[in-house]
Amino acid sequence: TGGLRLVAVDLGATSGRVMVGRVAPGVLDLEEVHRFPNGAVRLGGSLHWDVVGLYREVLTGLREAAGGGPVDGVGIDGWAVDHGLLDRDGALVGTPFSHRDRRTDGVPARVLEVVPADELYAVTGLQLLDFNTLFQLVAARGTAALGAAETLLLLPDLLGHWLTGAVGAERTNASTTQLYDVRTGRWATSLLDRLGLPAGILPPIREPGSVLGPVRADVAREVGLTDDVPVVAVGSHDTASAVVAVPSEGPGTAYVSSGTWSLVGLELDAPVLTEDARAADFTNETGVDGTVRFLKNVMGLWVLGECLRAWADAGEPGATLEAVLVAAVDVPALRTVVDVDDPSLLPPGTADDPMPDRLRALARAAGEPEPVTPAEVTRCVLDGLALAYRRHLRTAARLAGRDVRTVHVVGGGSLNALLCRLTADACGAPVLAGPVEAAALGNVLVQARALGADLPDLAAMRGLVRATHRITRYEPEGIADWEAAEGRLPRGG
Ligand code: LFR
């Protein structure tokens, strides 16, 4: 068996990459062939994605991949909830919005007047994030773009459509929209009806592992692919793909998928739709093979990334990622405790209102010492992330009736040794860090199975990840009193 050579497109909100994965018995490796920065663009006062630019980057990556040898399949995953609208000619209407745009401020409260929170949770099982697709559509009611829309495509499905012509909504990403009924696995059409939203724009749901179709002939020619290369629907939600590649060995493990966002939780067999889960605002997203991602969004390394951007713009000397992480080790633990999930940290920093100032404002409001230097700000963010992971994992364990004995950290944040140490310490459990490119690996694994590799289930996929990737272990060290720190959080535990 020669194995498979598969292209994984993994779109992150701050960077995208195109990787070539090789899968054969006992083999799973990735080579990055193209990486590009990504970020929302302020356009006419709103935050948008340059989706045509993203498509061009995908083509560049495909060309690189095709140049290196025959390609057996292509899969696309990316961040959730954001989408494009197509009109009846199949043309994009409007410019897709970023979920960090402020137009959904206050929308959830208006929706809850029509659909009470307990009812909404019973149907969708999702945490109330202002940017859920549901709230984005409610904010778009009455706009010309929504009026002209015939089809809504989540971004990975939109790019897949441009590559193949196929139209559909891959299930794992559909489950993040809050337009999806987690009980039936169908679109929640009566919910849309009640809110005056056009349910007819939601395309048929397709399964991760199904084939969209071959790359269009003109596109294949343009990038140098052979005919009939299949585009496979993977877990197109990046978090779904990342969780596929969490090298866990069974229950008793939790994960932190650590990228721009940190997604903190458990993999379960069935959603937890209890009143306690709703009150804790936990989400039940659908995973590959019918699993449930029972988790909470934590603001993640976005906050540090925005600080670094602000320091670079201000010409702050030596405030690189490497330097601030080294310096942060020497800042006393829990010097400043802030709630990193505070909504003020969601929008991109601006010249007038840079991210470090927002952290200082939160500290002031909570009566905490203000973090002044980049090292202090960095430590404040990392301590805050570790504290959030601790809180949410305890809550997840309680709500799901599970023990958490180890915490897997995957994604870019698994390279952040200080954050991994703090996470182990805060959670009181060993952290197993890696793989870094979990989403791309999960993408490749689901493609491989769809194209005939002997990877019957998630356990087999994870076994292959364990056998082929180095995992770094961090033990709790007694760095700080995290329990006491919880009492310093404005919202408590
Ligand atoms: C992570 C992620 C999260 C989702 C957020 C917004 O990249 O997909 O799972 O909540 O981005 O789409």
Distance 306 CA to ligand 1 centre (A): 17
**Taking a C-beta distance cutoff of 8 angstroms, is the pair 151, 86 a contact?**
yes
- Reply yes or no: is the peptide bond before residue 435 cis, omega within 30 of 0: yes
Distance separating alpha carbons of residues 465 and 467, to the nearest angstrom: 5
Closest CA to 122 of 61, 58, 208, 191: 191
Q: Please give the model's pTM, rounded to 2 decimal places.
A: 0.98
Ligand 1 atom 2: the closest Cα is on which residue? 79
- The pLDDT, as a whole number, for residue 493 is 42
CA of 261 to the centre of ligand 1 (A): 6
- Cα separation, 398 vs 118, in Å, equals 20
pLDDT of residue 331: 98
Task: Name the residue with tokens 């000619």.
Answer: 89
Instruction: For residues 136 and 134, give the distance between their C-alpha atoms in angstroms, rounded to a whole number.
Output: 5
Query: Catalytic positions, please?
Result: 238
- Pairing assessment for the beta strands 292-298 and 262-268 based on DSSP bridges: antiparallel
Single-letter code of the amino acid located at 305: G
ipTM above 0.95, yes or no: yes
User: Which residue's alpha carbon is at the smallest distance from atom 6 of ligand 1?
Assistant: 80
Q: Distance (Å, rounded) from C-alpha 478 to C-alpha 210?
A: 47
Q: What pLDDT, in 10s, does the model give residues 222-233?
A: 999 999 999 999
Q: Report how far ligand 1's centroid is from the alpha carbon of 227 (Å).
A: 33
pLDDT of residue 491: 66
With the most atoms of ligand 1 within 8 angstroms of its CB, the residue from 238, 282, 285 to mutate is 238
* Order of all β-strands in the sheet with 230-232: 27-37, 15-24, 4-11, 73-78, 230-232, 211-214
Can you tell me which residue has the tokens 């290196």? 68
Q: What span, in angstroms and rounded, lies between the C-alpha atoms of 410 and 484?
A: 28
Q: What is the mean pLDDT of each run of 10 residues along the chain (493 residues)?
A: 91 97 98 98 97 98 98 98 98 98 98 98 98 98 98 98 98 98 98 98 98 98 97 98 95 95 98 98 98 98 98 95 98 98 97 98 98 98 98 98 97 98 98 98 98 97 98 98 95 52
Give the closest residue to 383 by CA, choosing from 340, 343, 431, 330.
Answer: 340
Q: Whose CA is nearest to atom 8 of ligand 1?
A: 79
Name the token pair of 154.
């989540």
Instruction: Enumerate residues lining ligand 1, CB below 6 A.
Output: 79-81, 99, 237-239, 259-261, 263, 297
Residue nearest to atom 7 of ligand 1 (CA): 79
The CA 222 to ligand 1 mean position distance, Å, reads 31
Give me the pLDDT at residue 315, please. Answer: 95
The ligand 1 atom nearest the CA atom of 79: 8
State how far the Cα of 379 lies from the Cα of 304, in Å rounded to an integer.
10
> Residue 492's pLDDT is what?
47
Q: How far apart are CA 457 and CA 440, in angstroms?
A: 17
